[in-house]
Chain A
Amino acid sequence: MRALGLLLVACATLLAATAAHAQGWPLSRYSVEGRNSGYFYLGQQTRLLQDDDFQNPGMFAVDAGAAMWRRVEGTQGRSCASCHQNAAETMKGVATRYPAYDAKSSGILNLELVINRERVEKMGAPALAYESPELLAITSYVSHQSRGLPKAVDITGPAAPFFEQGKEFWNTRRGQIDISCAMCHDDRPGMLLRGDTISQGQTNGHPMYRLIWHTISSTHRMFEWCNTSMRAEPYPLGSPEYLALELYVTWRGRGLPIETPSVRK
């Protein structure tokens, strides 16, 4: 069964690759050793939308994040720029390392939560609500500074148990529909699920602009969506369960260049 799955994946990947090649698309930039960005599975229109910064609707969030970068907030009278100056230099490569183990909280932090901690501890500003336009904007801006750089998270040492937890989450059937993440995203990328082409479920483009939601969206919102589509009770956005899952999923896509802001269907 597993072997059949792999064979099907191989065929689907080959077909997708051939079709794209015929259109002359530089897909090699979206694929590393068989690990494919969601871009790989998009239709031509959506790819064009992502490729053009002037049309990419996710760029609004990046621009809003740029303004926030310089905005003084909180009791310390600081902005992000007060400490980190020019984001193009200081934030370059930062997003490639997250999620990561954090010794202080003995848990996993992703980019959203690291930014929130900076706000609380360094700026004396309130943490931003998960999935709020502000948190998505500043996260998109920071991640955008690493566009083109490969995702490379550390899953060794103290991160290892969280990685295992995320891996187990990924492979567990859940919900009334009783299917796992792996059944779609490991075993069936390239295949049609109703009208959608299933991708490998990679996160290198996140935060992404999701067309059906008409908004920039986080990885955890996508987890929530996939969970409820299997009629499984989702976990809260920013929860330890989703952070462990994000660590595993990001490792699955290791080496894929960051695309933030990506556009997805």
Chain B
Amino acid sequence: MRFSLVSLVVVLAAGAALAQAVAPERVPLQAHLTGPIPPLAKYEIVGNTIPQPLTAQPGDAVRGRRVIADASNSTCLICHEVPALAEFPDQGKIAPPLEGLGTRYTAAELRLRLVNAKLITPDTMMPAYYRTEGLTRVQPQYVGRTIYSAQDIEDAIAFLLTIK
């Protein structure tokens, strides 16, 4: 009992220290890909848009930039060139370059594009970043999980809108 209390204090202290060390990072990248499966956020599709954000927490463009560039989680750079991320080498060239998005799209349009681009272009190669159903032979560790968390989607949108 005494032991667990002590360890609890240690954990709390460590937690506080960690929270400080990674200050701008509200949620670590890929946290949703391990541990308990997070519940899916509900959303409503209106035309080619999802008007309402998936999270209460507004999108954070700084974190969104890191979400998009995260090489070990289906980065957009696999397929798209993103001139705004010029520091990342070897950008893909099999999809249109992500330029001027902030002037061509609204947040609501980008939200549907990221959540499930197949609802816009059924035969697109672009993965649905917020979808768990209708998939074939998903690796067990990913079953029931989305590529991006709801917060990742909102943060990514905030960043993409800064690309003028």
B127 touches A178 (CB 8 A): yes
Does A86 sit within 8 A of B, measured CB to CB?
A: no
Segment 106-164 of B: residues with Cβ below 8 Å from A: 118, 121, 123, 125, 127-128, 131, 135-140, 142, 145, 147
- Say how far B143's CB is from chain A's closest CB, in angstroms: 8
A228 touches B94 (CB 8 A): no
Segment 85-105 of B: residues with Cβ below 8 Å from A: 89-94
- A1-B123, A178-B128 given as contacts; is B78 within 8 A of A193 (CB)? yes
Find chain A residues with CB under 8 A from B125 CB: 179, 183, 187
- A174-B136, A175-B136, A232-B137 given as contacts; is B142 within 8 A of A192 (CB)? no
The 8 Å CB contact of A175, one of B89, B123, B135, is B135
Q: How far is the CA of A231 from the CA of B93 in the complex (A)?
A: 21
Does A249 sit within 8 A of B, measured CB to CB?
A: no
The 8 Å CB contact of A194, one of B92, B118, B136, B137, is B92
Taking residues whose C-beta sits less than 8 angstroms from the other chain, chain B's interface range is 20 to 34
**Interface majority SS on B: helix, strand, loop or mixed?**
loop
Q: How far is the CA of A132 from the CA of B64 in the complex (A)?
A: 44
- Say how far B122's CB is from chain A's closest CB, in angstroms: 9
- A176-B145, A232-B136 given as contacts; is B127 within 8 A of A192 (CB)? no
Does A51 sit within 8 A of B, measured CB to CB?
A: no
Find chain A residues with CB under 8 A from B138 CB: 174-176, 231-233
Find chain A residues with CB under 8 A from B78 CB: 193-194
Give chain B's interface residues, CB within 8 Å of chain A: 74, 77-79, 89-94, 118, 121, 123, 125, 127-128, 131, 135-140, 142, 145, 147
Given A173-B135, A174-B137, A176-B142, 10 further pairs, Cβ under 8 A? A1-B121, A175-B137, A175-B142, A176-B139, A187-B125, A192-B92, A192-B94, A228-B139, A232-B137, A233-B139
